[in-house]
Amino acid sequence: MLEVGDTVTRALKTELAFALGDADPGVREAAYGLAARLNDARITPLLVDYAAHKDPVMAAGAIKCLGKLKPPGLVKLLAGIMKSAKDQALQVACCQALGQVADPAAVEPLTRILTSGGFLRFRKRWPADVRAAAAYALAQISDPRAAKTLASLAKDPDPRLKQLARTATKK
């Protein structure tokens, strides 16, 4: 019985690899759902490879799945992807996954998104949706640094960030 289980798992990993790369978004979503339900450490490297995919839609799906699985080292991986990503939806997916993981190590990269300004083009100015996703992710992390960063957003021009700042100061 164990031998059959091992054979099925190996075949399933191969099929999952093909399904994750499928052109049909429905097939990919089903594959991500299966990967999340399996929660097998042997699937994590496959998802990490897809998280670095050149197609931002495929990468975002893998990142969301990794956020559900919460493998070790995910914060470092996502921070690197977020820093180099040009696609806004991919950046938002990274922030959302960091919020799901709720690791205090994610406070620093999320804080950088919220506190960076566009002074003389030396520092990157993040889009409003990415900043909102970063703030929401910080709100999910129980760490005094996260609460401090959220409280500093009380005068931000974005109403979403102001609301999160008010909520953080009430806690």
Q: Which of 51, 61, 55 is closest to 29 using CA atoms?
A: 61
Give domain limits for the chain: 1-74, 102-171
CATH fold of 102-171 reads: Leucine-rich Repeat Variant (1.25.10)
Q: What is residue 165's predicted lDDT score, i.e. its pLDDT?
A: 87
What pLDDT is stored for residue 167 in this prediction? 83
CB 44 within 8 A of CB 51: no
Digit-coded pLDDT (tens) for 13-50: 888 888 899 999 999 999 999 899 888 888 999 999 99
User: For the ranges 26-30, 62-66, 84-88, 120-124, which has the lowest average pLDDT?
Assistant: 120-124
Evaluate whether 59 touches 90 at the Cβ level (below 8 Å): yes
CATH node for 1-74: 1.25.10
Residue 3 — very low, low, confident or very high, per pLDDT cuts 50/70/90?
A: low
pLDDT band at 169 (very low <50, low <70, confident <90, very high): confident
Domains 1-74 and 102-171 share a fold: yes
Contact (Cβ atoms closer than 8 angstroms) between residue 19 and residue 32 = no
Query: Global pTM?
Result: 0.85
Rounded average pLDDT over 88-100: 96
pLDDT, the chain, mean: 88
Interatomic CA distance for residues 151 and 136, integer angstroms: 13
